[in-house]
């Protein structure tokens, strides 16, 4: 994709690897590179593709949560006009490996019509393939399945809990330091409180979809994914083909939130259907089918015990979590992680236990663990502050951690004090009364103010990139990166332009295809740091090659410059202290007889820095709510968030991510709750009418403050992630504001009027 886009304001020069690049657009609030395409409807999402001979596939899904399918009326479905085939366990293409094989921890076990067993409601039990979507949907109804059902195991008390060894992405289930029992015994004040969070489901605008076409044993697949290379590897393993025989196209995603991090069963079923009928097949999940086979955030029950001394300093913090997973796989929500890294205490203990449910397997969902854990931790901190008679912000400052609490590591950078100060000043926190139910507006509505601390790890994964300088044409950068709306098309291109010393508007920039260098996964708020570092190093490589050509060529005005710093700017190399002595990239290449130069770069976490430092983004969110004293109706009316997340590549995109996170926090605190029928195991509100998320009328006045922070250790570019951190502070701030407005502490989320009215 190449577009002509006006360039931004030049920045001061930056010295990089022996030469200097400046005049780039990094740091500028540029608009979305692909924005016009999206507004015009010209950005092609997976389901927008219609290869010749396309058939449509529709899932027939289970209406029970546990048991087996005893009958499908296949004849009736196949007799329906337009139906081409019905794929069942009897005729599904054979796979090279069992979909229950765990080749790596994130290769979730998939239901791919290998038998008649049912493991959760909404599991695929057949696929109807037809000439039209309507015919396929009608054929699926005609299957009229019958079952041999067993009682569903649903909820946090469904089965005996099991001890866990790891949670989330491999974190230890139990961790801590010091003697919690002694800390509680020595405490002047203590509290014990239990909080519950419900199951929540990814609801991106774009559902999971696949358009699959087999050509001569090779697969072309259009599908939304947050991890092109990982999806390619999983598909190759299941079908027994080489990864290079699979081309996945995913330039645009209509949201992911973690639910598109791993390839899902329905996407694989679309590929199987295309192989079965030997024609291209499109499969798109209906909204209600998103509740089951493509992941969710599991429910939690979190029990806290906190103790403090006479000065209001924590003496002990205990955080015990019970959470659910599927009966057949292992992903457990790491809620206790929120208490391991934030507040100073000489004694901390966190642990998790798991309960098996007859549901689809949970997975990563925006701020996994930190979102569920932080709303409970921030509520517990507020309850402790109240018992001490302290302002909640003052209480947090008294327990500010100068080093990571359990490990004692220094933070690679930490501007949380500045976040507290700037957020509180912008919000007007100093005028907050200490006691609840002391503020009303002119309409008599109870008004409350709350604060929550935001924390998210500064992660980094592995990635590769390619940069190309051309004698006749614009510079080009290639990386198999993913843009699910967070702005990767724009921010990564800004990094590329800065690192190459070319104008952003002339750059030829390509992402979103599996035949490009592997960009890793767009998850963990790590994509800009990871892919950006690979791009930066690829550009550094190619500029170093170009520099060598110039300084070793007697015909170049830069001949003999040696180790003197050079400026790479506007497509020219010149001396840093003599701009008149230089030449254009094209001239250097032409004189050397080179049509192009190619540079390669890679990114990976630095194990030395990871061992030496605790790496996190931090923030503080201040919330105002208004509550009707008679009806219990709650409205968030104001949010101010202040966040420190290292270097900012594009403040417009960063603020957009902060706003999105804060809106998600509103959703977590007040709206989202999947209601599961304990008899059938089915989600009863599996639609966007009854599964509540904030709409425009629910979104208050929001302000996101970007707090300046320089981190020399986190990665070469000093970038931390911003996509998830704002969820973690906001949900707790709103819960605490509701208490401040009403004097009622709700410990079961979301907070709804019935819980306030009792």
Q: Are 704 and 727 in contact (CB under 8 A)?
A: no
What single DSSP character describes residue 207? P
CA-wise closest residue to 461 among 264, 603, 258, 671: 603
d(C-alpha 263, C-alpha 260), whole Å: 7
Cα 658 from Cα 721, distance rounded (Å): 11
Write the DSSP symbol of residue 347.
Answer: -
Give, to the nearest 10 degrees, the angle between helix 651-670 and helix 725-742: 50
SS (H, E, C) 486-545: CCHHHHHHHHHHHHHCCCHHHCEEECCECCCCECCCCCCCCHHHHHHHHHHHHHHHHHHH
Q: What is the C-alpha separation between 8 and 25, in angstroms, rounded?
A: 5
Could you tell me the two tokens for 15? Answer: 């010295």
Q: What is the Cα–Cα distance from 642 to 646, expressed in whole angstroms?
A: 13
Helix, strand, or coil (residue 666): helix
For the chain, report the end-to-end CA distance as a whole number of angstroms.
Answer: 57
Token pair 């949900």 is at which residue? 731
CA-nearest of 277, 391, 401 to 348 is 401
Cβ atoms of 171 and 334 closer than 8 Å: yes
Active site residue 724: yes
Task: Please give the helix or strand (H or E) that residue 610 lies within, else none.
Answer: helix 607-612
Q: How far is CA 9 from the centre of its chain?
A: 30
Separation between Cα atoms, residue 654 and residue 645, nearest integer Å? 10
Q: What is the largest CA-CA distance in the chain?
A: 86
Q: Which residues pair with 448 in a beta bridge?
A: 625
The catalytically annotated residue of 150, 708, 724, 748 is: 724
Please identify every residue annotated as catalytic: 724
């Amino acid at each position: 994709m190449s577009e002509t886009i006006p360039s931004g304001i030049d920045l001061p020069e930056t010295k990089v690897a022996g030469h200097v690049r400046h005049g780039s657009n990094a740091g500028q609030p540029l608009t979305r590179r692909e924005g016009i395409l999206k507004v015009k409807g010209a950005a092609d999402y997976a389901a927008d593709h219609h290869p010749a001979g396309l058939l449509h596939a529709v899932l027939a899904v289970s209406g029970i949560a546990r048991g087996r399918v005893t009958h499908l009326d296949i004849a009736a479905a196949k007799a329906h006009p337009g139906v081409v085939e019905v794929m069942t366990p009897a005729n599904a293409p054979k796979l090279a490996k069992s979909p229950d094989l765990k080749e790596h921890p994130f290769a979730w076990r998939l239901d791919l019509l290998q038998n008649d067993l049912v493991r959760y409601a909404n599991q695929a039990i057949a696929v109807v393939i037809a000439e039209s979507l309507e015919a396929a949907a009608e054929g699926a109804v005609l299957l009229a399945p019958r079952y041999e059902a067993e009682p569903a195991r649903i909820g946090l008390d469904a089965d005996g809990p099991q001890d866990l060894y790891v949670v989330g992405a491999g974190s230890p289930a139990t961790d801590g330091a010091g003697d919690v029992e002694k800390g509680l015994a020595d405490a002047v004040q203590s509290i014990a409180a239990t909080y519950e969070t419900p199951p929540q489901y990814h609801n991106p605008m774009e559902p999971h979809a696949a358009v699959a076409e087999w050509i001569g044993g090779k697969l072309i697949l259009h599908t939304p994914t947050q991890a092109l290379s990982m999806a390619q590897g999983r598909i190759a393993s299941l079908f027994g083909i080489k990864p290079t025989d699979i081309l996945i196209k995913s330039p645009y995603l209509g949201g992911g939130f973690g639910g598109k991090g791993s390839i899902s069963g329905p996407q694989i079923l679309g590929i199987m259907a295309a192989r079965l009928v030997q024609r291209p097949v499109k499969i798109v999940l209906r909204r209600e089918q998103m509740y089951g086979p493509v992941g969710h955030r599991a429910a939690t029950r979190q029990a806290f015990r906190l103790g403090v001394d006479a000065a209001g300093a924590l003496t002990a913090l205990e955080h015990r979590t019970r959470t659910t997973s599927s009966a057949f796989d292992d992903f457990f929500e790491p809620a206790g992680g929120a208490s391991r890294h934030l507040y100073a205490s000489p004694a901390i203990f966190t642990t998790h236990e798991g309960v098996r449910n007859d549901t689809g397997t949970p997975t990563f969902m925006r701020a996994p663990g930190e979102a569920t854990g932080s709303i409970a931790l921030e509520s517990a901190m507020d309850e402790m502050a109240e018992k001490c008679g302290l302002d909640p912000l003052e209480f947090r400052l008294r327990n500010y951690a100068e080093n990571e609490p359990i490990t004692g590591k220094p933070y690679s950078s930490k501007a949380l004090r500045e976040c507290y100060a700037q957020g509180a000043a912008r919000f007007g926190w100093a005028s907050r009364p200490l006691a609840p139910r002391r503020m009303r507006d002119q309409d008599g509505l109870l008004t409350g103010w709350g604060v929550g601390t935001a924390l998210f790890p500064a992660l980094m994964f592995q990635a590769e990139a390619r940069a190309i300088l051309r004698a006749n044409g614009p510079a080009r950068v290639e990386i198999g990166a993913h843009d699910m709306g967070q702005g990767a098309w724009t921010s990564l291109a800004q990094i590329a332009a800065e690192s190459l010393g070319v104008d952003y508007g002339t750059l030829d920039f390509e992402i979103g295809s599996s035949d490009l260098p592997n960009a890793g996964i767009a998850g963990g708020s790590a994509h800009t740091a990871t892919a950006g570092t690979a791009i930066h190093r690829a550009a550094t490589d190619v500029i170093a090659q170009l520099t060598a050509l110039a300084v070793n060529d007697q015909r170049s005005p830069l001949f003999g410059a040696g180790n003197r710093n050079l400026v790479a700017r506007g497509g020219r190399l010149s001396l840093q202290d003599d701009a008149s002595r230089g030449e254009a990239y094209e001239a250097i290449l032409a004189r050397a007889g080179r049509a192009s130069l190619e540079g390669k770069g890679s990114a990976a976490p630095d194990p030395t820095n990871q061992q030496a430092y605790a790496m996190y983004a931090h923030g503080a969110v201040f919330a105002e709510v208004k509550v009707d004293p008679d009806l219990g109706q709650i409205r968030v009316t104001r949010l101010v968030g202040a966040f420190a997340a290292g270097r900012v590549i594009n403040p417009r995109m960063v603020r957009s991510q902060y706003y999105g996170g804060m809106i998600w926090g509103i959703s977590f605190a007040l709206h989202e709750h999947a209601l599961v029928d304990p008899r059938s195991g089915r989600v009863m509100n599996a639609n966007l009418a009854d599964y509540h998320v904030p709409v425009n009328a629910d979104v208050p006045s929001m302000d996101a403050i970007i707090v300046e922070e320089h981190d020399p250790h986190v990665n070469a570019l000093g970038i931390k992630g911003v996509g998830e951190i704002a969820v973690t502070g906001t949900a707790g701030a709103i819960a605490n504001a509701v208490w401040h407005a009403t004097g009622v502490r709700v410990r079961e989320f979301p907070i709804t009027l019935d819980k306030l009215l009792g």
